[in-house]
């Protein structure tokens, strides 16, 4: 990716926002989402879910001195054809920003867009309201092949009863010119052993894509999985959570990252763990190899901490 999401930088600049005179109309944006990224020009870029000229979210630029400029306000096109509520961006190798919106467009299911640093907007794709695909709640990543990859929480084809109306999520690919392909439909396998509701995707050093699903898997419907996916859409379940008694290994994974050294993956689960002080467990930190050997590094425990996120 062209930039790195830096939540610490977001916190460092929050003081500047709180001490500045508030904008009564929130034309500068409201509810920043998914941190900020360092742009190739040395500025910081990010998105807000709400606010902006049309109260439907923005993409903004922030200098290191704390000067914020909204470079695009969503719902600027008729009937919100450009989308609303953007949920993060990346800067691609061509210098432009790419991202998704949660809602808006004719379907109400969101869009995929391209935006230049100067604010010139291009609509690449509109998510449909039918079973082929549905709303997206994750940021895009750019693969080594130059294409973009992402997940949708809902949508897709599945015979699993719980997915009958809204689908259980997908992984998709889109080219810089907007050619869209669904690579995988979750809950495609019996009893949803391949997982459901994906919302994290990375490309690992081996070239494959790895991600997590918040539900499904071989052990419990709410356990979740870690999966590996090729660029051709061939999926392998690396690990199904709740493999241990009382989900001591964790359940509902919500993040995944690969270490620079050793090549193992690290992440957190929202529930599960060895503690009995939370009804469904307080969450875990884990390490896992690419072949599926999982080590629980920490189980969160009330009242110190519980339910880690992202």
Distance CA 298, CA 23 (A): 43
Q: What is the pTM of this model?
A: 0.85
Per-domain residue ranges of the chain: 1-127, 142-310
Q: Is 34 helix (H, G, I), strand (E, B) or coil?
A: strand
Tell me the pLDDT of the chain (310 aa) as tens digits. Answer: 333 333 333 333 333 333 344 455 789 988 888 789 999 999 999 999 999 999 999 999 999 999 999 999 999 999 999 999 998 899 999 999 999 998 888 778 889 999 999 999 999 999 886 544 445 556 799 999 999 999 988 877 777 777 766 788 999 999 999 999 999 999 999 889 999 999 889 999 999 999 999 999 999 788 999 999 999 999 999 999 999 999 999 999 998 999 999 999 999 999 999 877 787 789 999 999 999 999 999 998 865 555 565 5
Structure tokens at 270: 């929202």
Do you know the residue count of the chain?
310
Q: Could you count the other beta carbons within 10 Å of the beta carbon of residue 152?
A: 27
CATH domain 142-310 topology? Neuraminidase (2.120.10)
Q: CB-side exposure of 27: number of CA atoms within 13 Å? A: 7
């Amino acid at each position: 990716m062209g930039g790195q999401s830096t939540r610490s930088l977001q916190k460092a600049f929050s003081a500047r926002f709180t001490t500045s005179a508030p904008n009564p109309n929130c034309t500068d944006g409201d509810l920043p989402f998914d941190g900020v990224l360092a742009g190739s020009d040395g500025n910081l870029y990010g998105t807000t879910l709400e606010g902006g000229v049309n109260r439907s979210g923005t993409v903004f630029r922030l200098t290191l001195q704390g000067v914020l400029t909204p470079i695009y306000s969503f719902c600027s096109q008729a009937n919100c054809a450009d989308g609303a509520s953007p949920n993060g961006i990346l800067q691609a190798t061509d210098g432009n920003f790419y991202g998704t919106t949660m809602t808006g467009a004719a379907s109400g299911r969101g869009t995929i867009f391209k935006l230049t640093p100067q604010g010139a907007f291009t609509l690449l794709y509109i998510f449909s309201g039918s079973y082929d695909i549905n709303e997206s709640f994750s940021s895009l990543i750019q693969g080594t092949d130059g294409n973009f990859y992402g997940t949708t929480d809902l949508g897709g084809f599945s015979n699993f009863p719980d997915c009958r109306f809204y689908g259980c999520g997908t992984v998709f690919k889109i080219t810089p010119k907007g050619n869209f392909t669904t690579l995988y439909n979750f809950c495609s396998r019996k009893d949803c052993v391949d997982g459901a509701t994906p919302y994290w995707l990375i490309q690992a050093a081996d070239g494959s894509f790895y991600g997590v699903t918040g539900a499904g898997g071989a052990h419990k419907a709410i356990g979740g999985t870690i999966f590996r996916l090729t660029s051709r859409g061939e999926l392998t379940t690396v690990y199904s959570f709740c493999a241990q008694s009382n989900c001591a290994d964790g359940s509902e994974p919500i993040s995944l990252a690969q270490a620079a050294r050793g090549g193992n993956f690290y992440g957190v689960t929202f529930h599960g763990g060895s503690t009995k002080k939370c009804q469904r467990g307080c969450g875990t930190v884990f390490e896992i190899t690419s072949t599926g050997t999982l080590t629980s590094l920490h189980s969160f425990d009330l009242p110190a901490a519980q339910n880690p996120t992202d």
